[in-house]
Amino acid sequence: MDMKTPATEDVAVTNGAEAFLEQVRASGHVRYIFGNLGTDHGPIIEAMAKQQGGSDGPGPQMLAVPHEQVAMSMAMGYFHVARKMQMVMVHTLPGTANALGGVMNACSANSPVMLVAGRTPATEGEEDGGRSRPIHWRQESFDQGAMVREWCKWDFENRANANLGTTVPRAFKIAMTEPRGPVYMVLPREWLVAPLDATRVNRAAYAPPSNPQADEGELTRLAEALIAAENPLIVTKFVGRNPEAVPPLVELAEKLAVPVVCPRAPGYMNFPTDHDMFLGDAALKHAKDADVILFMDVDVPWPKVSRDLLRRDAQIFQLELDPNFTRIPVWGFPVDHAISGSSTTSLPVLNRLADRLLKDADDKAIEKRRKATAAKHRAMMDDTAARVAKARGEKPMHPLWVSHCVGELMDANTVMVDETTTSPLHEVTPMTTPGCYIGNPPAGHLGYAMGAALGAKLAAPEKTVICAIGDGAYMFGIPTATHFVSRKYSAPVLFVVFNNQAWNATISTVREFYEDGVAASTHNFPGCDLGPSPDFEMVCQSCGGYAERVDDPADLPAALQRGLRAVREEGRQALINVVMRQPL
């Protein structure tokens, strides 16, 4: 906040819509409102046009996003990169319904998004802004917030414009308080047009409370166990959602020689993949031999809950903001010592305590662990390289080869957004910079990556953004809307479609339960065949992008470079439709 700007002031307005936008501007967060507007937003549109032409300078920029799922994903991608919460504005019930998948994703990924919807006018002409079109009678619900309430941290329908100075900052504060998540606010049109002379803004009211730190006594107990362990292990899945937590995790793993694993399909870059203490995603494989295990920022460490999979003498610690995962109805993974606290604030304290305890520790035992883990890391890397070499020339293309070629595009100035779901992209993508990787949210509502990539690009125009996405997820991503937004707002992204013409996740589940069943033996999986595949490249081309189809593994590296050239040098989006082997 500018020190010359008073924390609290009365800002002149003429109605509720202007007051709402002034409160949003005062937050200091919102650069963009990702909007799909309707008949309920006339006052907002007029107020925004007036605000942008005012002497105080422009407020947030409204972007026209022709589908709410894309808008929600854009807000999530933007926050991941810029660490500032953005707003999505939608039309009453239909817009809320279309945004619901994105709300579920934001909830499961602890992504703060402020979803704002209009409300069908409640009055029948008695108030300004009341019902004026036939749709207004059949569109109204009894409880609009009920549609999203299960997935939002807070929802509220505006009842008084004089109270916006309380409710809007409260929405921001709740969304940004750990564990973060989406909030929902409803703006009835009658209140938007209602006259108002001024709105009081309090910029300090938007700041969330500090993150909770774990109890130092409990952290000391954890540090002692990790140091004394013969074979300790750290399992984490989303510590990297706060990039500032990654360096202290690396410091802890290095000084105590504790290996780190990130279960399959991590949502973020949690640990440098080239580090000697990194052992990939096979968490259960390494946990079976561990005597001390730390679950940190991980909801599902492996797919089996039974403790019988582990050593009888294993101690399991947990460091988590919400160790009970109270938003998950059933969660029964074994934990011996649950510690409440934020990894962001608690890891530096844990490192300080470990430094103190190391003075009396057995250096030889720690060095023995360090050498053993480094050897396992090298063996893992060699095995991956051998598998890539074997897959290199396979026709149709092997997903591991495609993943390797896409992963090779990563550098320090690149953000990878991954929704390949069943392809091993995270296994072979070099990740060394916190914040460089965005995976699929745990809720798994497909179509996330395309919008998230656009949001990431808007947040960091100087970075190269690559969106790796399966063909099914691409269709879920509302590609026409996505490519339109990319072109309209000059947000070039390289989209790489992993096209196997099938619902591979669904097929793999059938094979898991019915390995010798009729479906597997006859290669007949009803409802899972996505062939004949659309010409995805033509959708991108229709919005001015560069695009091509590739089905020869030898041609893929050059095709990806041509796509990168279009994004980096020509400033336009690109799509590479990579046709892979079909898993049917």
Beta bridge partners of 32: 61
Greatest Cα-to-Cα distance within the chain, rounded to the nearest angstrom: 82
Whether domain 392-579 has CATH 3.30.565.10: the reply is: no
Q: What is the pLDDT of residue 5?
A: 61
**Which pLDDT value is given to residue 4?**
60
Q: What is the pLDDT of residues 491-523, one digit of tens each?
A: 999 999 999 999 898 999 999 899 999 999 999
Residue 202 has a CB neighbour count (10 Å cut-off) of 15
pLDDT tens by residue, 234-260: 999 999 999 999 999 999 999 999 999
Segment 190-215 mean pLDDT: 93
What value does the mean pLDDT of the chain take? 94
CATH 3.40.50.1220 fits 216-377, yes or no: yes
Name the pLDDT band for 54 (thresholds 50, 70, 90).
low
Q: Are 472 and 446 in contact (CB under 8 A)?
A: yes
Tally of CB atoms within 10 A around 527: 7
pLDDT digit string, tens, across residues 382-431 = 999 999 999 999 999 999 999 999 999 999 999 999 999 888 899 999 99
Of the chain, the percentage scoring pLDDT greater than 70 comes to 98
pLDDT at 514: 94
Band of residue 140 on the pLDDT scale cut at 50, 70, 90: confident
Q: Does the pLDDT value for residue 189 go beyond 70? A: yes
Task: For residues 86 and 81, give the distance between their C-alpha atoms in angstroms, rounded to a whole number.
Answer: 12
User: What are the residue boundaries of the structural domains of the chain, listed by start?
Assistant: 8-206, 216-377, 392-579
Do residues 131 and 188 lie in contact, with contact meaning Cβ atoms separated by under 8 Å? no
pLDDT band at residue 6 under the 50/70/90 scheme:
low
Secondary structure letter of residue 281 according to DSSP: T
**The two three-digit tokens of residue 558, written as one number:** 């050059």
**Cα–Cα dist 454/79, whole Å:** 12
- Position 317 scores a pLDDT of 98
Q: Do domains 8-206 and 392-579 have the same CATH topology?
A: yes
Q: Mapping DSSP to helix (H, G, I), strand (E, B) and coil, where does residue 469 land?
A: strand
Checking if the pLDDT of 554 tops 80, the result is yes
Average pLDDT over residues 14-24: 95
Residue 541 has pLDDT above 60, yes or no: yes
**What is the 3-state secondary structure of 381-433?**
HHHHHHHHHHHCCCCCECHHHHHHHHHCCCCCCEEEEEECCCCCHHHHCCCCC
Please give the CATH architecture assigned to the domain spanning 8-206. Answer: 3-Layer(aba) Sandwich (3.40)
| Residue with token string 């807000």 | 75
Q: What is the DSSP string of 133-153?
A: STHHHHS--S-GGGGTGGG-S
CB within 8 Å of 314: residues ≥ 6 apart: 287, 290, 291, 292, 293
- For residue 59, name the pLDDT band (cuts at 50, 70, 90): confident
Nearest by Cα to 131 from 120, 139, 141? 120
pLDDT score for 57: 61
The position carrying tokens 């996740």 is 505
- Average pLDDT (314-341) is 95
